[in-house]
């Protein structure tokens, strides 16, 4: 049994496609068997909703009269600095950007109440945002100062562009030290006081297509409540890692870069995040449809939390010091039970990504496809796979001699 994406799209157009979520497929395959399930099911939808730091957006704000060249000057959106090293009125805003006067960690742990991620959320919500810019002035762009309200509906382009999203697996963070630490994996209490993880597990997109046989460059996806596309491998893409028998990476592996029109997204699926003692970020909703082209692909989508293993890492020492030490490995089923065993101790667990929202995303994507509103795309290029030689290298620091 082999199906093509074109055949599945034809069924979607006719409203006949069978679409289920990556959670539902587990029981369906168990009841019907892989073969029958693969014949009957056309698409499995996935979802994840978590803090994804390497997210951002770019804008073209339109030319003012007289003209101003923001490029090379300074521009702030609600006091958060945007990147201006682009053409005249193009800007990029990263989710981690902070206002100049934010106290950061001067009083540790800093609260990081407002940053780039929050500006993106407010823009998407349709709120006016204050733009303040200074420029150096040229003969063709004479203006040196600009202060104005902007609104997403007036911008020429407002595009979410995330260079790393939807990590395939993630470490579980704990703290072996004697004091509380404040990390991007949340508050970690001393002496193994708690363990935080961040993945939707069995619903997470890349766990359901572990060898990237259907997900690739050009894949149309749910992004921030609207539709978007995978543009490239995400930064730190690292497919060649140890895997389980079923092919599931046992540690952080693939990532995707994503893009989509911010104007059709929603603040329910793009939420500014404040991470105590760490910084600001953006919580992003991503959902990827997986076409069931063969029994093999169906099998991958039946992955469940018991099959997914994550490494437990000490964020007081091993992580900051770039040591490879892993304390133990645990399954997502164990993580979701509420406690895991680390060094003989029961450690309570908490998730940083929202499973209920991941379920909702997979459900929305399923509805879109069932209603014929969302057709699948054929990837134009696969993501680099295990054999590609793409790896994540550490920085090779070379001292500069003066």
53 among known catalytic residues = no
Give ∠ CA 153-156-161 in degrees, rounded to 5: 95
51 binds another protein (CB under 8 A): yes
Strands 328-331 and 256-261: unpaired
138 binds another protein (CB under 8 A): no
SS3 state of residue 206:
helix
103 binds another protein (CB under 8 A): no
236 binds another protein (CB under 8 A): no
**Listed residue (216, 301, 303) closest to 41, CA to CA:** 301
DSSP string, 346-397: EEEEEESS-HHHHHHHHHHHHHHHHTT-------SEEPP-GGG----PPP--
**Listed residue (74, 59, 49) closest to 132, CA to CA:** 74
104 binds another protein (CB under 8 A): no
- Please pick, from the candidates 77, 330, 352, 362, the single residue that binds another protein as defined by CB under 8 A: 352
Nearer to another protein, 208 or 349 (CB): 349
Instruction: Enter the tokens of residue 211.
Output: 């060898």
171 binds another protein (CB under 8 A): no
Binding-site size for another protein (CB under 8 A) equals 36
- Please pick, from the candidates 92, 240, 336, 392, the single residue that binds another protein as defined by CB under 8 A: 336
From the list 65, 100, 140, 322, the catalytic residue is 140
284 touches 273 (CB < 8 A)? no
Q: Is the peptide bond before 66 cis (omega within 30 degrees of 0)?
A: yes
359 binds another protein (CB under 8 A): yes
Alpha-carbon span 267 to 109, nearest angstrom: 27
| Part in contact with another protein (CB under 8 A); list of ranges 45-53, 123-131, 142-150, 233-241 | 45-53
| Stretch 270-329 residues interacting with another protein (CB under 8 A) | 271-276, 281, 283
68 binds another protein (CB under 8 A): no
Nearer to another protein, 227 or 281 (CB): 281
Number of residues in the chain: 402
* Binding interface with another protein (CB under 8 A): 49-51, 109, 111, 113, 179-180, 186-187, 189-190, 193-194, 196, 271-276, 281, 283, 336, 338, 348-357, 359
Catalytic residues: 140
């Amino acid at each position: 049994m082999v199906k093509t994406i074109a055949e599945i799209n034809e069924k979607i157009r006719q409203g006949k496609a069978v679409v289920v979520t990556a959670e539902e497929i587990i029981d369906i395959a168990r009841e019907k068997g892989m073969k029958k399930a693969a014949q009957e099911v056309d698409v499995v939808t996935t979802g994840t909703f978590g803090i994804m730091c390497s997210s951002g957006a770019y804008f073209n704000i339109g030319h003012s009269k007289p003209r101003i060249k923001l490029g090379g000057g300074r521009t702030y959106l609600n006091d958060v600095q945007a990147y201006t090293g682009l053409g005249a009125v193009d800007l990029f805003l990263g989710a981690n950007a902070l206002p100049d006067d934010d106290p950061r960690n001067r009083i540790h742990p800093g609260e990081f109440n407002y940053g780039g991620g929050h500006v993106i959320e407010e823009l998407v919500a349709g709120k006016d945002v204050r733009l303040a810019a200074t420029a150096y002035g040229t003969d063709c762009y004479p203006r040196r100062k600009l202060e104005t309200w902007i609104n997403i509906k007036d911008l020429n382009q407002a595009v979410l562009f995330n260079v790393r999203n939807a990590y395939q697996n993630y470490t579980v963070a704990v703290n072996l030290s004697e004091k509380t630490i404040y990390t991007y994996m949340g508050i970690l209490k001393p002496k193994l006081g708690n363990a935080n993880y961040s993945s939707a597990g069995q619903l997470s997109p890349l766990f359901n297509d572990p060898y990237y046989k259907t997900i690739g460059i050009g894949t149309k996806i749910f992004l921030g409540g609207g539709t978007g596309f995978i543009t490239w491998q995400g930064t730190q893409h690292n497919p060649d890692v140890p895997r389980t028998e079923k092919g599931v990476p046992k540690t952080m592996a693939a990532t995707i870069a994503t893009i989509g029109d911010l104007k059709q997204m929603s603040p329910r699926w793009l939420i500014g995040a404040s991470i105590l003692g760490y910084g600001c970020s953006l919580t992003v909703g991503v959902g990827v449809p997986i076409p069931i082209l063969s029994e093999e692909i169906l099998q991958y989508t039946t992955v469940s939390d018991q099959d997914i293993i994550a490494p437990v890492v000490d964020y007081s020492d091993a992580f900051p010091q770039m040591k490879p030490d892993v304390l133990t490995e645990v399954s997502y089923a164990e993580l979701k039970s509420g406690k895991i065993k680390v060094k003989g101790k029961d450690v309570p667990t908490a998730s940083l990504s929202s499973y209920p929202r991941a379920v909702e995303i997979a459900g929305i994507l399923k509805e879109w496809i069932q209603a014929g509103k969302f057709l699948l795309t054929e990837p134009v290029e696969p993501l680099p796979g295990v054999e590609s030689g793409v790896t994540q290298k550490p920085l090779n620091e070379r001292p500069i001699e003066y």
